[in-house]
Chain A
Amino acid sequence: MTAFPSPLVGYLLVAAVLFAIGLAGALIRRNAIIVLISIELMLNSANLNLIAFWRFGPHSSALTGMMFAIFSIAVAAAEAAVGLGLVISIYRHTNTAELDKINRLKG
C-alpha cells in the first residue's frame, strides 16, 4: 500500500469502504436483522468521518465533530432498538423475518 497524501485521506477512504459494505449488505441480504446490522455499519462509517474531520480540521477545540458523533451514537442505538422491536413484532405476525416474504400490506 502506498502512503496516503495525508492521514485524513486514509480514514475517509476506510469510512467510504465501510459505507459501501453496509450499503451492499442492506441491499443483498434477505434477513431483516442483517439489514439492520448493515445500517448500523453505515452509521458507524459516518461517525468515523465526523471524528476524522474533527481531528484533522481547524477549530477542534469547539468539539463540534465529537459532539455530533456522540449524539449520532445515541440516536443510532435508539434506532436499532426500535428497528429490532419492529422485526420481532413482524416475526410474531408473519412467522418469518425475511424481507421478500413481507412484501404485502395485508397482514
Chain B
Amino acid sequence: MNAVFYLLAAITIAGGLAAILLKHLIHAALAVTVAFGGIALLFLQLDAQFVGFAQILVYIGAVAILIVFAILLTHGADLPEKGVFNKGWAAALVIAAAVFAVTGWAVLQSIDAVPQRNAAPVVSMHDVGNALVGRYVLPLEIVGLLLTAATIGAVIVAMHEKERSR
C-alpha cells in the first residue's frame, strides 16, 4: 500500500462527501467530478488502463456535463428556503453507517478467503478488443440497443409537449 493509493482514496472520498454535503448544486456537481477523476486514477493504479480512460471519457466528459446542464435547466442555483436536507436525515445517516459497517465487517472478516494475486495482469488492447467482439459480443450488442433506446427515450421524455387543447 503506497502513498499514491492513500492520496487517491482521500481525494475520492473527499469529493464524494463534498458532493452530498455542499449546499450549492453546481459545487456539488464539480465535487462529484473530482470523485469521478479520483476513481479513474484508482482504476489506472489497478492496471486497468482501458476502463480508467473510459471512465474519464464517459463520466467526466459526458455525465458530469449532463448533470450540470440538468441543474441549470431546473434552476438549481436557487437554494430552497427550507434547507437542503431531508427531515429524517439522522435516520438516513444511521442506515448508511449500518450499511458501511456490514460491508466493512464482511471485507475484514474474509481476509483469508480473499485472493492474493499480486502480479500485474498483462492485458493488451488486443485482448480487450478480442474479448469485446468474441466472448462478450452479446452484451456488447445489447448495450448498444440499450443506449439507443435510452437516447431516444431521454429525448422524448424531456421534450416539450405539443400544445393540446384541453
Where the two chains meet, the residues of A that have a C-beta atom closer than 8 Å to any C-beta of B are 1, 3-14, 16-25, 27-31, 33-34, 36-38, 40-41, 44, 47-48, 51-58, 60-63, 66-67, 69-71, 73-82, 84-89, 91-92, 97-98, 100
The secondary-structure label for the interface of chain B is: helix
Does A24 contact B96, Cβ atoms closer than 8 Å?
Answer: yes
Does A41 contact B35, Cβ atoms closer than 8 Å?
Answer: yes
Given contacts A9-B107, A37-B28, A84 and B9 within 8 Å (CB-CB): no
Q: B83, B84, B160: which has the most chain A beta carbons within 10 Å?
A: B84
Given contacts A61-B121, A67-B131, A23 and B19 within 8 Å (CB-CB): no
The CA-CA distance from A19 to B70 in the complex, in Å, is: 23
Task: List, in ascending order, chain A residues with CB within 8 A of B55's CB.
Answer: 47, 73
The CA-CA distance from A69 to B93 in the complex, in Å, is: 28
Task: List, in ascending order, chain B residues with CB within 8 A of A4's CB.
Answer: 1
The CA-CA distance from A22 to B151 in the complex, in Å, is: 25
The CA-CA distance from A38 to B96 in the complex, in Å, is: 12
Against A, the Cβ 8 Å flags (1 = close, 0 = not) of B64-90 are 001101110111100010011111110
Given contacts A52-B46, A84-B70, A89-B157, A41 and B32 within 8 Å (CB-CB): yes
What are some 24 contacts across the A-B interface (CB < 8 A)? Answer: A7-B118, A10-B5, A14-B9, A18-B13, A19-B103, A20-B97, A22-B20, A27-B86, A30-B83, A34-B84, A37-B28, A51-B48, A54-B121, A70-B132, A74-B147, A77-B59, A80-B67, A81-B150, A82-B154, A85-B155, A85-B157, A86-B158, A91-B75, A100-B86
